[in-house]
């Protein structure tokens, strides 16, 4: 009897919270959720976002429009009204351990980027850009990613013969584009063996080298440095170390462009479901954290936010993922399909609700003589 009462109370709380966001259980709206297992209420109220995500992966509930479901609940900050005890170990782990340090920095490569190039080749654009596109004046994912690459090149003021470093280069998409269109030579580093293997092949014949290397191991000079979608894996304990290394590697007259997802508030953890299943050890920096990390090292020349473009990018990735699942699924199971779709759509909802931002920050070591003219 007590267990039944507990489940009833949790169900009432769960449904009350969803009602505030205009969401019903077993309703007819696309954002409504269909309950397949009544234990989901205890699981979510006890474990928060981890319980919500794992119960979805287990098939305990469904939703026709997960992106809209997450947009609604995140827009109202409903998760702040429930503080599950299950969050405590996650918080303590962030304080005690440093997943972005030493050998741990390669864990993200093994658990996320090395899970199969076939997945990414069927989900991303033709250049394999795994970061936010720039949708200003364009209509397709391919166009949006080329626009972002070109925007980045122009912000860095690239010219023929320059030597450029890409920290967290992925499959070499930026350096390949910059070498083809702007005549630069470059070094790209990544912690993913699969990215090195495919990226080196894609950049063959160009003055581009793709290495399996941690940024702390670098000891060379570069005219300009770029980092696109990698800073989210650095970890708050390493931000200052990261910026000091970049400053040491960068020519005194060079520019550093940091492209990163941004957090509206300062935290030391990330969502526990995302950390466990998608990006182990990752976290999203705030303005305060970035500001502290660059103090006395850099002059902030430009700060550009186009976070809403990530919603559209993620929805395009999800469309490709579902459309091409027949080509992908040989190496995965149905649980992975639910997990990956949940990841893409929950993130889309978060950017739509403006809970996360996408920043491109241009930094110089001593200030651009005469001032820096922003590019948009």
Name every residue whose Cβ is closer than 8 Å to that of residue 53 and which is 6 or more positions away in sequence.
Answer: 273, 277, 339, 342, 346
Q: Among 31, 132, 153, 347, which one carries the catalytic annotation? A: 347
Crossing angle for the helix pair 66-75 and 334-352, nearest 10 degrees? 40
Buried b (16+ CB within 10 A) or exposed e, 134-165: bbeeeeebbebbbbbbbbbbebbbbeeebbbb
Alpha carbon distance 226, 174 (integer Å): 9
Q: Is 31 a catalytic residue?
A: no
* Secondary structure (DSSP) of 187-229: EEEES-HHHHHHHHHHTTTSSEEEEE--GGG----BSEEEEES
Q: How far is CA 12 from CA 4, 6, 38, in A?
A: 12, 10, 12
**Active site positions, annotated:** 347
């Amino acid at each position: 009897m007590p267990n039944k009462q507990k489940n009833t109370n949790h169900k009432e709380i769960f449904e009350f919270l969803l009602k505030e966001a205009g969401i019903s259980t077993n309703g007819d709206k696309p954002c409504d959720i269909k309950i397949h297992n009544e234990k989901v209420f205890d699981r979510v109220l006890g474990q928060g976002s981890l319980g919500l995500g794992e119960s979805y992966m287990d098939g305990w509930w469904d939703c026709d429009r997960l992106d809209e479901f997450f947009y609604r609940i995140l827009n109202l900050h409903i998760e702040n009204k429930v503080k599950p005890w299950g969050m405590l170990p996650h918080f303590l782990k962030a304080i005690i351990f440093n997943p972005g340090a030493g050998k741990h920095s390669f864990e993200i490569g093994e658990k996320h980027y090395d899970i199969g190039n076939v997945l990414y080749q069927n989900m991303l654009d033709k250049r394999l850009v795994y970061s936010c596109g720039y949708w200003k004046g364009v209509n397709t994912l391919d166009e949006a990613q080329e626009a972002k690459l070109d925007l980045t090149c122009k912000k860095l003021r690239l010219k023929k013969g320059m030597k450029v470093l890409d920290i967290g280069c992925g499959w070499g998409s930026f350096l390949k584009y910059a070498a083809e269109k702007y005549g630069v030579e470059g070094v790209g580093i990544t912690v993913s063996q699969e990215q090195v293997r495919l990226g080196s092949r894609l950049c063959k014949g160009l003055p581009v080298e793709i290495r399996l290397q941690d940024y702390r191991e670098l000891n060379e000079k570069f005219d300009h440095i770029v980092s696109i979608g990698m800073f989210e894996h650095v970890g708050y304990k390493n931000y200052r170390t990261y910026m000091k290394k970049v400053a040491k590697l960068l020519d005194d007259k060079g520019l550093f462009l940091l492209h990163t997802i941004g957090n509206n508030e300062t935290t030391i953890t990330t969502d526990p479901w995302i950390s466990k299943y998608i990006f182990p050890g990752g976290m999203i920096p705030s303005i305060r954290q970035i500001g502290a990390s660059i103090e006395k090292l850099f002059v902030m020349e430009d700060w550009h936010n186009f976070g809403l473009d990530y919603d559209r990018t993620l929805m395009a990735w999800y469309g490709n993922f579902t459309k091409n699942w027949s080509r992908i699924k040989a190496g995965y199971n149905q649980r992975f399909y639910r997990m990956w779709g949940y990841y893409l759509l929950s993130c889309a909802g978060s950017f739509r609700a403006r809970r996360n931002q996408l920043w491109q920050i241009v930094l110089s070591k001593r200030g651009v003589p005469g001032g820096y003219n922003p590019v948009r």
